[in-house]
Chain A
Amino acid sequence: MKLLIKTLFASLIFFTLLSCEEKINEPEISDTSKIDSLTAGNYSIKAFTDTTTIRVHYNDLGQDISWEADHGTLSGEGKEIIYFAGECCVGLNTITCTLTDSTGQISENIKIEVISYFNKK
């Protein structure tokens, strides 16, 4: 039983070490691939009320497209996604699109302002 206890505590320590991983810088994508622009239907949305559609314009050479938002929620996949945010995301938020191919990756971002649900504008 002592062995079991030691094993279980050792497992927790192992998981802890796993959590301390280093960030790796990805190489930049080849010159033939690039993002022309990111556009949004609305650059200012009301929390818990509006959504905006964000689209990436790029030369399509078979790259993977990934999306992330520092605050708020993204839904969809591929060239076009929907963004919306709650009241806790009021402010200027950054949505980042990344293209990845076998040579590396390239990212562009767009800023969307989220205004309060209680704002009468």
Chain B
Amino acid sequence: MKQISVYLLIVLFATVGIKIHAQCCSAGNPLSTESDLVNSGVKNLKIGVNYRHSFSNTFYSENQALEIGIIDKANYNFTDINLSYGIFHRATLKAELGYFINKTEKYNIENMNNAIGSGLGDASLQFRYLLYKSFTNKWELSGGLGIKLPVGVFDQEVNNVKLPITVQPSSGSFKYFANAFFHKSKGNLALYSLASIEVSQTIDSDNFYWKYGNVYALNTGAIYNWKNKLSAGIQLRGELRERSSRENKQTVEASGGFIMYCAPLLSAKIAKGYYAMCSINIPVYKYVNVLQLTNAYSFSIGFQRKFNFDK
């Protein structure tokens, strides 16, 4: 237990105090917060479905909450289907496709309709490689490279009026990401850490011209497993976003920032090869540049089926 505390504290100190930037408007799939990136070996297939609900209702200016009139609240309901398959002993291919049931901004203005986007989001493909595995000390290090493809709905209109970029279901441009994952287990306890970066291409559609700032994230967590049937854990996630830019290389001052989340996790084996999981993301520290609407909470539930074709 002492080891865990020290580990979490190191990560906390490593993330707080960095010069931080964040972003306000966000098209496309939400960032993945997955923690299950342990290499499962060749010919292992995982198929999963997830549902995520997110709710935002508080404006922040730097690290202070502010009362603002026009946007009352925002929320989305998002689902995804994902596949992970061990193509070689150390290599895994992952694919994901997202769908927004809704992506809504509610306005506190008379005669003003809510902006509601919905439809297919982004697809992502990721190649993961197990860089090192120590069987004696039970730890492993892997890396991943991936791309998010704007296959879904963008430039969406309602009654011939284009929706704002914030509620467009797809990203409207390619995004590239890379990550490094560390996992160590000792008895029933596992510690993990995931460092990732996401870089967006400029959106240059019929209507929008926008480039999101890079996102750097560090997740770290501890999970306790009871008899391979029930796992409970907690994850700390620091998310740092650089400022966005718009046409003529103008920097968007009210974008970018740093948010730290705390996320309790629960997963259960419900039958042989079938798993269910849930988590809730609660922001515990927010710092945004200038003035932005920030997330109040999000929660997700998911189911996964695992197959092993190597037997």
Contacts and interface: CB of A to CB of B under 8 A. Distances in A.
Contacts of A76: 111, 113, 161
Interface in A1-46: 1-2, 5, 8-9, 12, 15-16, 18-19, 23
* From A1, A9, A81, A87, residue with most partner B Cβ within 10 Å: A87
Contacts of B161: 66-68, 74-77, 81
A73 interface: yes
Interface in B231-258: 244, 246-247, 250, 252-255
B150 A19 contact: yes
A51 B151 contact: no
A44 to B, nearest CB: 16
Contact of A16 (B25, B123, B160, B250): B123
Contacts of B159: 77
B149 interface: yes
B290 A87 contact: yes
Contact of B250 (A23, A51, A91): A91
B83 A5 contact: yes
A101 to B, nearest CB: 13
Interface stretch (B33-41, B64-72, B134-142, B218-226): B64-72
Interface string B203-238: 000111110000000000000000000000000000
A66 B157 contact: yes
Interface of B: 23-25, 45, 59, 68-71, 83, 85, 93, 95, 97, 105, 107, 109, 111-113, 115, 120, 123, 125, 149-151, 157, 159-162, 164-165, 206-210, 244, 246-247, 250, 252-255, 290-293, 307, 309
A66 B247 CA distance: 23
Given A74-B161, A76-B161, A81-B161, A9 B95 contact: yes
A51 B112 CA distance: 10
B69 A49 contact: yes
Contacts of B97: 12, 15
Interface of A: 1-2, 5, 8-9, 12, 15-16, 18-19, 23, 47-49, 51, 64-77, 81-82, 84, 86-88, 90-91, 96, 116-118
- Main SS of chain A's interface residues? mixed
Contact of A82 (B68, B111, B254): B111
A88 B256 CA distance: 10
A77 B159 CA distance: 6
A67 B79 CA distance: 30
Contacts of A18: 151
A117 B68 contact: yes
Given A1-B307, A67-B161, A70-B209, A75 B151 contact: no
A116 B291 CA distance: 9
